[in-house]
Structure 1
Amino acid sequence: MQVIELVHPYAPTQIKPTPVVLALGFFDGVHRAHQAVIETAQKVARKKKMPLAVMTFNIHPAIVYRHVNEASFRYLSTTERKQELMADLGVDILYVVHFNPAFAKLAPQAFVDQYLVALHADTVVAGFDYTYGQRAVANMQTLASFAQDRFEIVTVAEHDYQGTKIGSTLIREELDRGQIDAANQLLGYIYRTTGEVVHGEARGRELGFPTANIAATQPERLPGIGIYAVRMFVRDQWYLGMASIGRNVTFHDDNPVTVEINLLDFNGDIYDETVKVEWHHYLRGEVKFESAAQLIEQLHQDKADTRAYFKELEG
């Protein structure tokens, strides 16, 4: 997959000269509804024997349009993760448009001319709720008037799960509530984050459950406070683990939230290592135990529950 970054106004020489089927969206999370858009575009591309291109943005449009604080915004998929997911879906060209103020000021007709027609779109595919400016003016229902018969338009209908529209907002809400199992159902894959192993208080080692303390290195959204069954990728291998997102309330009342992972079948010094974490299953909430002994007893149960979960997953 070729990744092409476009900063408005971009140089025309950056654009591939061949006609493409172009899928549109921000695609945060590349969830099941997003996958439906890309798979629809893929079918059209194969039928027409054209490359499949996707256009997305480097930051969430709300950061520019609604002045959301960029430093605090947390994504379901960073640009790097989005690239991995798009490649897995068979995308040939990924255009990453830098959503700067100049780009945001484009009128709908200018957007269509400069970012759809100029990208040589033979067919444009997007979800029913895609917008490219003010929602009442620049939506999928009005796109034909801006297209002026220069490309075909395919609109993908709403995708629901258990009667609820699948969307990035819903997935963020499920993550915040710790409902990782529901989030994974909506995503269509196991949610993943990245980080770096840093030094902590070493309390887990004292309890007989040494943990890797994970510091975020990307603006990724973490699940809510709780204990989870996870897998962690370190040194070219995946290991089973149980993760705690919380404040260590048994020992402190006002600690900052930390991410600590006890790997079940790994011992070694991995400080400063970059790791990936797959969030598979919510085990329980964070509990303030009356003693370290009670915590240790619960950790043994968490370990057993984690092994049982993955054993059942394997069938």
Structure 2
Amino acid sequence: MEIISLTYPLNDCSDLLQNKKLAVAIGHFDGVHRGHQNVIRQAVQIAKQSGSLSAVMTFLPHPKEVLGHGDHYYSCLTPPEEKQALFAELGVDIMLVVKFDLNFASISPQQFVDEVLRPLQAEHVIVGFDFTFGSKGRGNAEMMRSLGNPGIKVDIVEPLYENGEKVSSTAIRAALEKGDIVLATTLLGRPYELDGIVVHGDARGRTIGFPTANVELSKPYVTPCLGVFAIKVKVAGKTFCGVLNHGMKPTFNKEEIRPVLEAHLFDFHQDIYGESITIEFHSFIRSEKRFGSIDELIQQIGADALEAKQFFGIA
């Protein structure tokens, strides 16, 4: 999959796109969840049928971040590198990354069609039912259909529901904040993942019989609620089951500090300091709490590990 960065106003795009027409799915696609996948797969299918190139147009940074809607959207479900990998898995030919700045945010819906989509030779556009575009979101999917005529056909993909819950990035964020890992996994269509680096911690886990990998996140991810989780970890080319604590370590810390991620991997004895690590969340075990003694903590960690092993069928 080719990645093309674009800044408005666009230069001549004919060479970049091999003089081919595009079937392009447009959206921010944070999470690349099952609803997003429906939109993107439709673009891929149309491109194959018409002999055009399939493309995904996304925006960096998040429009809501640029337009001052708070820090909530500084954190993400899928950073650009992860989006890239997921788009490629879906069979996309080109990832178009449009720089979202105040200049781009000020263009009208008509300008977006005439000065962005037409220069890109987009002949087919696929968007979600709630897609908006142009200054202050004045354009919607139906307006794009009107403005694109003639020459640009627009397909509008209806929302996807799961047990009455609309599949959306907002719903996934809410599920993670509540510790509803099962719902987050269902909406995403895969386990939620975080990437990071194994760093040195205070080594207390080793002294109580449960050595942990302390993980420093590589991107500003949305993190699940504080608590203990059954996880799988990809590190050094292999996958291991384990249990993870996301929290303030209240038994040891009397004052609140920033949350830490500590993963205890089952039957694992390697030195992985400095290694890249991917954490998959599979089940929420319990909320974080303070224990009256180290012995109580050790007993609870043992119970947490057993619950995780039973979840994975390895107890």
TM-score by length of 2: 0.94
Give the letter for the 2:105 counterpart: A
Structure-1 residue corresponding to 2:304: 302
Say if 2:109 is the partner of 1:101. Answer: no
> Shift in Å at residue 69 of structure 1?
3.9
Alignment pair present for 1:270 and 2:272: yes
In the TM superposition, residue 48 of structure 1 has moved relative to its aligned partner by 1.4
Q: What SS does the aligned partner of 2:171 have?
A: helix
Number of equivalenced pairs? 311
SS at match of 2:313: helix
Query: In the TM superposition, what whole-angstrom CA distance separates every residue of 1:112-147 from its partner, at most 9, and x where no partner exists?
Result: 112211111111000010011256730011112321
**Structure 1 counterpart SS, 2:283:** strand
Query: Residues 109 and 15 from structure 1, CA distance in 2 versus in 1: closer, same or farther, beyond 3 angstroms?
Result: farther
| 1:38 correspondence with 2:60 | no
Q: 1:64 aligns to what?
A: 66
Task: Tell me the amino acid that sits aligned with residue 179 of structure 2.
Answer: G
Select between 129-138 and 88-97 the one with higher mean Cα deviation: 129-138
Tell me, in whole angstroms, the C-alpha distance in 1 between the residues paired with 2:58 and 2:115.
15
- Residue matched to 2:233: 232
User: 1:250 is matched with which residue?
Assistant: 251
Residue by residue, what CA displacement relative to the aligned partner does 1:188-217 show, whole Å, maximum 9, x if unpaired? 111111111111111111110011111112
1:68 is displaced (CA, Å) by 2.9
Task: Work out whether 1:125 is the aligned partner of 2:126.
Answer: yes
| Aligned counterparts, 1:81-92, within 5 A | 81-92=82-93
The structural deviation recorded for 1:15 is: 3.5
Partner of 2:167: 166
Alpha-carbon offset, residue 264 of structure 1: 0.6
Give CA-to-partner distance per residue, 1:1-48, whole Å, 9 cap, x none: 111111223332464020111111100000011011112222222221
Change (3 A) 1:118 1:47: same
SS in 1 for 2:92: coil
In the superposition, relative to structure 1, how do residues 32 and 135 fare at CA in structure 2: closer, same or farther (>3 Å)? farther
- 3-state SS in 2 of match to 1:12: coil
Cα distance in 1 for residues equivalent to 2:269 and 2:309: 17
RMSD: 1.7
Residues 218/123 of structure 1: CA separation in 2 closer, same or farther (3 Å cut): same
The residue that corresponds to 2:22 in the other structure is 20
The one-letter code matched in structure 1 to 2:7 is V
Contact between 2:108 and 2:135, CA under 8 Å: does it hold in 1?
no
* Unaligned segments of structure 1, at least 5 residues: none
Q: Which residue of 2 aligns with 1:284?
A: 286
| 4+ residue segments displaced more than 4 Å | none
Residue type of the partner of 1:25? G
CA deviation map 1:241-279 (0-9, x unaligned): 110001111222323211000011211221121211111
Change (3 A) 1:310 1:25: same
- Corresponding residue for 1:311? 313
Is residue 22–residue 41 contact of structure 1 (8 Å, CA) maintained in 2?
A: yes
Mapped pair 1:141 → 2:142: yes
Q: Which moved more, 1:36-45 or 1:203-212?
A: 36-45
Residue in 1 aligned with 2:221?
Answer: 220
Q: Is the 8 A contact 1:15 1:119 kept in 2?
A: no
Structure 2 residue aligned with 1:78: 79
> Quick check: 87-96 or 113-122, which moved more?
113-122
Cα deviation for residue 62 of structure 1 reads 0.2
Q: Give unpaired runs (5+ residues) of structure 2.
A: none
Distance 1:280 1:273, change over 3 A: same
Q: Percent identity?
A: 38
CA–CA separation in structure 2 for the residues paired with 1:140 and 1:282: 38
